[in-house]
Amino acid sequence: MFWQPVRRQSLTPPPQNTITWEEYISAENGKAPHLGRELVCKESKKTFKATIAMSQEFPLGIESLLNVLEVIAPFKHFNKLREFVQMKLPPGFPVKLDIPVFPTITATVTFQEFRYDEFDGSIFTVPEDYKEDPSRFPDL
Residue among 107, 70, 103, 106 at smallest CA distance from 86 = 70
In a domain, 16, yes or no: no
Q: Count how many Cα atoms sit within 13 Å of the Cα of residue 109 in the half-sphere of its side chain.
A: 22
In a domain, 22, yes or no: no
How long a stretch of residues is the chain? 140
Domain count within the chain:
1
In a domain, 74, yes or no: yes
In a domain, 101, yes or no: yes
Distance CA 61, CA 116 (A): 13
In a domain, 12, yes or no: no
pTM above 0.85, yes or no: no
Give me the chain's average pLDDT, please. 78
Distance CA 18, CA 34 (A): 11
Instruction: Quote the pLDDT of residue 80.
Output: 67
pLDDT band at 140 (very low <50, low <70, confident <90, very high): low
In a domain, 20, yes or no: no
- Residue 51's DSSP bridge partners are 98
Which domain, by its residues, includes 106? 51-122
In a domain, 127, yes or no: no
Q: Is the pLDDT of residue 127 over 80?
A: yes
Distance CA 88, CA 68 (A): 18
What does the pLDDT average to over 99-108? 79
Distance CA 113, CA 27 (A): 65
